[in-house]
Amino acid sequence: MFIYLRVLKESLFFAVNALRTNLLRTFLSVLGVTIGIFAIIGVLAAVDSLENKITESLSSLDISTIYVLNRSFGPTELEPYQYEKFPNVTYEEFQMLERSMPDISAITFTQFTGPENIKFEGKTATGVNIIPGTEAFYELEKLKLAQGRFFNAAESNAGSNVVVIGSEVAKSLFGEFNPIGRRVRLYGNKFTVIGVLEKEGAGSFGPSKDGSAYLPVNFTRRIFGDNNRLRTAALILKPKKGVDQDAFIAQFEQTLRNYRGLKPGEISTFFINPLKGFADFLDQLTSTLTFIGVIISGFSMLVGGFGIANIMFVSVKERTNLIGIQKSLGAKSRFILSQFLFESIILAVFGGFFGLFFVWLGILVANSIAEDFTFMLSSFNILLGTSVSALIGLLAGIIPAISAARLDPVEAIRTGM
């Protein structure tokens, strides 16, 4: 046991000494692995950060939520000329589905509208995201109120002039004053502020709720009508807990098809967009990005590995005479082998450490610049970077080390002379 430890110690000493005597060559070898590890771990860290942000954002959403409208959230097999003529979903369809689908937990009718300005006395909140809907929006979007309340069913049905505003809208219009009960101007009408949402921060999918305003959809229907092609209507719903989503979607589709009088064989003139499918698409996207990034970065590692192998072959040739002397004095082949393997692995691991250091440095800079996105370097990626660099060193050094260990001492000394 002690003999092996001594051999290990001496091999390590020879390797470090060889690297110190050839600093320029060592630097060039380390540089290749540094670039490779920086590329691979940088890509993995970026994808992990993106995935963490997506997961964090999706945690506030119920992925059982389903959007139904005349547009698809993702790729579709239909041609544009087919779905461009799809009609908007209607308020009557919303009412029919609310009555006839017992497995619906909550459903709302909404219209996607453009940003508007909200005014209060001499102040204006610009670019406010207007979200018309029914009282069910409160449950569907898991809204949290800092002040006041959300509009109720009676106000929703009547299309009352009431509005619930985001924290940034409230700050822009009222500052530190209590906005509840104040009258603001929107769409040329006076609205009473009945609620203020809790501060959310930047939204990853769509505008943040902080810069949004919720009002009864029947008000916008009264202003813009139901057949306005510039304002896409949609149904947002979710099934009750425990209900199989695929079976629910199939039943929902058939119910809406029957209401629209579509015959068997005719395409459905609406799209059902479950958020679960969107979440699965994002998972697939991050996996694809990781795969592509690792493949591209792998070429950098390949170049670094060839660089170390080349340097090790040169090192073997330069020290042929020394190898011969060591073997003639009784050095075993495994000692020579471990000596060169250690040198190669140390080169690669040093390169890996520098690569990880630059990734960490880059993350610090990126986090100081980015306001609403946090880059992260996980312990798994640190371990992976170290392991990959050591493996590259092992693979790059194994052939030169074997060739050095197999040298005949007499021929080695003669060649060195």
C-alpha span between 389 and 395 (Å, rounded): 10
Q: Half-sphere exposure of residue 95, counting CA atoms within 13 Å on the CB side? A: 5
In this prediction, residue 41 has a pLDDT band, given cuts at 50, 70 and 90, of confident
Q: Are residues 9 and 102 in the same domain?
A: no
The arithmetic mean of pLDDT across residues 35-44, rounded, is 80
Task: Please tell me the predicted confidence (pLDDT) of residue 158.
Answer: 93
Spatial CA neighbour of 48 closest among 384, 383, 364, 376: 376
Contacts of 229 (CB under 8 A, 6+ apart): 88
In a domain, 170, yes or no: yes
135 neighbors 156 (Cβ within 8 angstroms): yes
Q: Work out the average pLDDT over 267-290.
A: 77
Binned at pLDDT 50, 70 and 90, residue 277 comes out as low
Q: How far is CA 271 from the centre of its chain?
A: 26
Predicted local distance difference test score (pLDDT) of residue 1: 53
Say if residue 281's pLDDT is above 90.
no
Q: Are residues 258 and 353 in the same domain?
A: no
Average pLDDT over every residue of 394-417: 72
Tell whether 82 is covered by a domain: no
Q: Hey, what amino acid is at 226?
A: D
In this structure, are 298 and 230 located in the same domain? no
User: Taking 80 as the threshold, does the pLDDT of residue 323 lie above it?
Assistant: no
Q: What is the mean pLDDT of residues 382-405?
A: 81
Residue 263, in any domain of the structure:
yes
Rounded (10°) angle between helices 379-405 and 23-58: 150
- 122 with 256, same domain: the answer is yes
pLDDT(361) > 80: yes
Task: Kindly state whether residues 122 and 239 are assigned to the same domain.
Answer: yes
109 lies in the same domain as 255: yes
| Region for 370 from its dihedrals, namely left if φ exceeds 0, alpha if ψ lies in -120 to 50, beta otherwise | beta
Decide which of 217, 240, 269 is a domain's last residue.
Answer: 269
Question: Is 344 exposed, middle or buried (CB count within 10 Å of its CB: 0-12, 13-18, 19+)?
Answer: buried
Q: Is the Cβ–Cβ distance between 54 and 220 less than 8 Å?
A: no
Query: Each residue of 135-194: pLDDT tens digit?
Result: 999 988 888 999 999 999 999 999 999 999 999 999 999 888 899 999 999 998 999 999
Residue 274 domain flag: no
Which of 213, 239, 269 is where one domain is finished? 269
367 and 302, same structural domain? yes
**Is the dihedral angle over the CA atoms 326, 329, 335, 336 positive or is it negative?**
positive
Cα 13 to Cα 339: distance, rounded to the nearest angstrom:
8
Percent of the chain with pLDDT over 70: 82
| CA angle, residues 164, 100, 273, in degrees to nearest 5 | 60
pLDDT given at position 348: 81
Average pLDDT over residues 403-414: 70
Residue 275 lies in a domain: no
d(CA 307, CA 311): 6
Domain final residue, candidates 269, 291, 306: 269
Q: Quick one: tokens of 124?
A: 């204006």
Neighbour-count burial of 81, counting CB atoms closer than 10 A to its CB (0-12 exposed, 13-18 middle, 19+ buried):
exposed
Same domain? For 393 and 289 the reply is: yes
> What is the pLDDT averaged over residues 122-135?
91
pLDDT average, residue stretch 189-204: 84
pLDDT at 18: 61
pLDDT bracket for residue 95 (50, 70, 90): very high
Per the domain annotation, does 69 fall within a domain? Answer: no
- Sequence letter at residue 326: Q
pLDDT tens-place string over residues 230-246? 788 999 999 988 888 88
Q: What angle do CA 404, 407, 410 make, to 5 degrees?
A: 140
Q: What pLDDT score was predicted for residue 24?
A: 72
Amino acid 349 reads V
Q: What number of residues does the chain have?
A: 417
3-state SS record for the chain? CHHHHHHHHHHHHHHHHHHHHCHHHHHHHHHHHHHHHHHHHHHHHHHHHHHHHHHHHHCCCCCCCEEEECCCCCCCCCCHHHHCCCCCCCHHHHHHHHHHCCCEEEEEEEEECCCEEEEECCEEEEEEEEEEECCCHHHHCCCCEEEECCCCHHHHHHCCCEEEECHHHHHHHHCCCCCCCCEEEECCEEEEEEEEECCCCCCCCCCCHHHEEEEEHHHHHHHHCCCCCCCEEEEEEEECCCCCHHHHHHHHHHHHHHHHCCCCCCCCCCEEEEHHHHHHHHHHHHHHHHHHHHHHHHHHHHHHHHHHHHHHHHHHHHCHHHHHHHHHCCCCHHHHHHHHHHHHHHHHHHHHHHHHHHHHHHHHHHHHHCCCCCCCCCHHHHHHHHHHHHHHHHHHHHHHHHHHHCCCHHHHHHHHC
pLDDT of residue 60: 55
Q: How many domains does the chain have?
A: 2
Which pLDDT belongs to residue 148? 93
> Looking at the domain assignment, is residue 79 inside a domain?
no
Higher pLDDT, 36 or 61: 36
Report how far residue 163's alpha carbon sits from residue 141's, in angstroms, rounded to the nearest whole number: 16
Largest CA distance in the chain: 103
Same domain, 312 and 260: no
In a domain, 148, yes or no: yes
- Of the ranges 195-204, 215-224, 324-333, which is most confident? 215-224
**317 and 360 together in one domain:** yes
Q: Looking at the predicted structure, is the pLDDT value of residue 220 above 70?
A: yes
Task: Give per-residue pLDDT as tens, 47-87.
Answer: 777 777 766 665 555 677 889 998 887 777 778 777 888 88
The pLDDT, as a whole number, for residue 162 is: 95
Pairing of strands 162-165, 116-120: unpaired
Query: The domain containing residue 41 runs over which residues?
Result: 2-58+281-416
**Could you tell me if 196 and 92 lie in one domain?**
yes
Q: 109 and 251: one domain?
A: yes
- For residue 358, pLDDT over 70 is answered with yes
- Assigned token pair, 190: 């006076």
